[in-house]
Chains A and B, each alone.
Chain A
Amino acid sequence: MVLKILLGVLLTAVIIFGLGLPMSPHPQAWYELPVIPGLGEKARIIFFHVPTAWLSVVAFLTSMVYAIAYLRKRDLSYDIRSSAAAGLGFMFCILATLTGAVWAKFNWGSYWNWDPRETSIFVLLLIYGAYFSLRSAVETEEKRAALSSAYAIIAAVTVPFFIFIMPRIMTGLHPGAKGDPEGAGPVVEFKMSPNMRIIFFSSLVAFTLLFYWMFTLRVRTAQVEAHNHQRG
């Protein structure tokens, strides 16, 4: 209950302050956000777009943890948790892709242009898309759980690489990518001021709480479904 109230308060505050605080080229007061060259007002999407990508990482790693737990204990309730987390991770991955594409349209001029960041999230979507086709292809419950657990572990190992490493070592347009050595590309220097950082990390916490809530709801539903299924 405390967590739900905290989520409500935090996310409301993030939306109000993230959208509402004025931007100024030379911030003086505590409430003024700095103007980031090349981003302008669009910089505010960091409070909403990055947490969705963050949640897909959290969800995929949660999926891996429960997949390992399943393989050790062979308890189907762990498989339920693992697949629920993967489902939520996939949804937030799609949201990160869509919101990123809208932003790219106005920052880079087109919805999709195979930037390293876009390529890596696309590969990630393919990897987890395959996870769900694997699950729907196997009829027997135990076999499905074992196969998809093994797959979830291997898939999650690739997640840090695609989200954190690959886009940073390749030259790209996405903020945080390795800069163009010639300095010719429109690479954006992204440094957050302390007040932006507070909103940003509050947003990460709020979205993580949101994930936890959606995850437990989904798991509870799936557990009752499994229970009903067993009783016929």
Chain B
Amino acid sequence: MQFATINQSGTLVISVRERRIDAASAIRFKDAMREATQAAQGRVVLDMSGVDFVDSSGLGAIVASMKQLGDGRKLDLSGLTPDVDRVFRLTRMDSVFGIYPSVDAALGLRASG
């Protein structure tokens, strides 16, 4: 599972560099999230704009990633592609996460260009 991470004014932004978070990759995703988030504190934004498929195993792994953050740390999501967005809405998980159209929107920045 490949991630690109940046720390921007106290928020850790993790961009998923794989197209699928599914049963075949859910455990690797959860492990990679633990590794990417354990050194930082505070809010995490997961940029999903490169992910075009999430099944319920992947959804479970994203929920588990929020739980393993602990201490009330917030996991927000940005850039959900249409099929991924649909899975979050149908399962009502869109009410559990903060969901933003883009990383800039999640960070409260105006889109550039």
Are both chains from one complex? no
